[in-house]
Amino acid sequence: MRVDLKPILTAVAILAGLAVPRPLVATETTARPVLGLVEIARVHTGTLLQLRGMAGRGQATLRLPEHGLCVTIPLRFAAGDFGGREPAGPLRGPVRLALHDPAMIRAMVNGQDIISDMFEVGMGASSDVDIRILSGIEESFGFVLNPGLNIWAEIFGPRPVPSSCGPLDRLEDQVLSDAL
């Protein structure tokens, strides 16, 4: 018997404050703002039978929804799938992800893991996704973003460092030009 866990994980994420419930009818006509940019410059890849995987370390630039200020946090990244086929493109990186969900941004700043199955993930200029894949992985991959790089970050949370919002602003401009 096969059980689909996505609805259950989504409900848990909503209850835990990691995700915001989506309306059944789309009301937005413009692209959602880019609130975060994950960049993993170099990843290590591997395969085992049908399992393909990759892991790396990088950073996330996040715009805090409450203040509009930007911070950068280090993070670990792990991704994989059971496709067992050769990828359409290179899987060496860099991995770049645009983040659009305010609850996800708050969760990352608080040191909570982001699991792709709990959010809507897509490619291209789609306006209805929480995480948009810009490069480095395929849509079939599941992934985890783990804020922090060491055991201290696991206990006390990552240490956000104030940073420029320039990368997010440039990405926002690109999204707007792609949508036109």
Q: Using one digit for the tens of pLDDT, what is the confidence trace for 13-25? A: 554 554 444 433 3
| Residue 84 confidence (pLDDT) above 80 | no
Stretch 83-111: mean pLDDT = 79
| Residue 85 confidence (pLDDT) above 70 | no
Share of residues in the chain with pLDDT > 90 (%): 41
CA distance 169 to 160: 19
Stretch 148-155: mean pLDDT = 76
Identify residue 29 by its one-letter amino acid code. T
pLDDT at res. 58: 94
Stretch 114-120: mean pLDDT = 94
pLDDT at res. 171: 86
Stretch 58-77: mean pLDDT = 92
CA distance 69 to 41: 24
Averaged pLDDT score across all residues of the chain: 78
CA distance 38 to 61: 7
Stretch 4-9: mean pLDDT = 54
CA distance 174 to 153: 33
CA distance 154 to 143: 18
pLDDT tens digit string along 15-67?
455 444 443 333 344 568 899 999 999 898 887 777 788 899 999 999 998 88
| Residue 70 confidence (pLDDT) above 70 | yes
Q: In DSSP terms, which residues pair with 96 in a beta bridge?
A: 39, 135
Is the CA virtual torsion 43, 57, 104, 8 positive or negative?
positive
Q: Residue 86, Cα to own-chain centre: how many angstroms?
A: 23
What are the C-alpha distances in Å from 41 to residues 57, 75, 77, 150? 8, 12, 11, 19
Looking at per-residue pLDDT, the higher value among 29 and 130 belongs to 130
Q: In DSSP terms, which residues pair with 142 in a beta bridge?
A: 80
Contact present, 170 and 98 (Cβ < 8 Å) = no
Contacts for 144 with CB less than 8 Å, ≥ 6 apart? 77, 78, 79, 113, 114, 115, 116
Backbone angles phi, psi at 163, to 5 degrees: -145, 175
